[in-house]
Amino acid sequence: MNILVVRNDKLGDFITALPTIYVLKKYDPKNKIVVLVAPLNKALAEACDFIDEVIVDEKENSIFTLTYKIKEAKIDASITLFSNTRVAIAQFLAGIKTRIAPATKIAQIFYNKRVVQRRSEVKMAEFEYNLQLTTELFPDISLDFPKPLLEFNDAKELYAKFCEENTIEKEVIAFHVGFGGSSDANWNLDEYEILIRAVLEQNNYQGVLTFGPDETSLYEEMQKRLEGEKVVFYLSTDGLITFAKLISQFKLFVSTSTGTYHVASLVGCATMTFFGDSLFASAARWKSVGDEKLQKHYMLPIDQQKRQAVFEEVKKELLLF
């Protein structure tokens, strides 16, 4: 069976789809798993050995171009984890016989198997809601998946070179101070500077600051703030997969709940992550797909006094790590 899985939005959202894709392939290795992804997730999709084909959804393409791409893949069934009218109509026009999606938005009229989930109630995490949809296609499917879900054979070699080039002789605690994605809670740069300096003063770990390729101004700002400190500044210009390989070898990855947090958890790195103080933005909804024992979550309150208390707790936790 050729199965299309649709999750064509942001990096973290796509990572919440990977357990779904894995269990579909595991259920029957003869299944051909095709994914429809946004351009930024193409490399990550191609790095997963449980994905057989990648269709890139270029937003500038017409609905008819997208329909053609899907039709060319000869899909028997589709599972759309997050839908919009455009992808719903394209699947309908492509003639996919079984089209599964959550029963939300007007787009649901173009699917013939609609599943009521009410994700806004956050009875499960996003990746668990995604997994649930597979049971509509295969009622007896196992929803278990390995943690970490993605590993690289050459990660240690790449990391050794990174350490040699940056004179790293200790395990790494990495800080990713940027926002990105749809995260709505984070420490400000002054607060991050305090946390980073506290870790450096302990002298137990090497500090590394990571930045996305579009965060050059932030990269330069943090270099100025931490001038003279023994810290490595890493601007990710070698692509997401290289970034993921490095993260997989770090001891701890500290960030807001953005896409890089999901990458870190996906590849098995321990995480310390900051979430908005609301059900919609919470860890209950957006915990990642890695081992929960390796995930430390903090909700950041709006109230300044409560926020300061959480900040002191985070600082203490870092010093005890």
Residue with tokens 């003063």: 201
Model confidence at 183, pLDDT cuts 50, 70, 90, reads: low
Model confidence at 180, pLDDT cuts 50, 70, 90, reads: low
Distance CA 128, CA 133 (A): 9
225-260 pLDDT tens trace: 999 999 999 999 999 999 999 999 999 999 999 999
Please say whether the beta carbons of 137 and 77 come within 8 A. yes
pLDDT for the residue numbered 26: 98
Please say whether the beta carbons of 90 and 99 come within 8 A. no
Which domains, from first to last, does the chain contain? 2-134 (3.40.50.2000), 155-320 (3.40.50.2000)
Task: Identify the sign of the CA torsion 80, 83, 87, 89.
Answer: positive
- HEC secondary structure over 137-184: CCCCCCCCCCCCCCCCCCHHHHHHHHHHHCCCCCCEEEEECCCCCCCC
Distance CA 122, CA 134 (A): 19
Mean pLDDT confidence for 122-149: 97
Model confidence at 287, pLDDT cuts 50, 70, 90, reads: very high
- Encode 224-242: b = buried (16+ Cβ within 10 Å), e = exposed: ebbeeeebbebbbeeebbb
Strand partners of residue 194: none
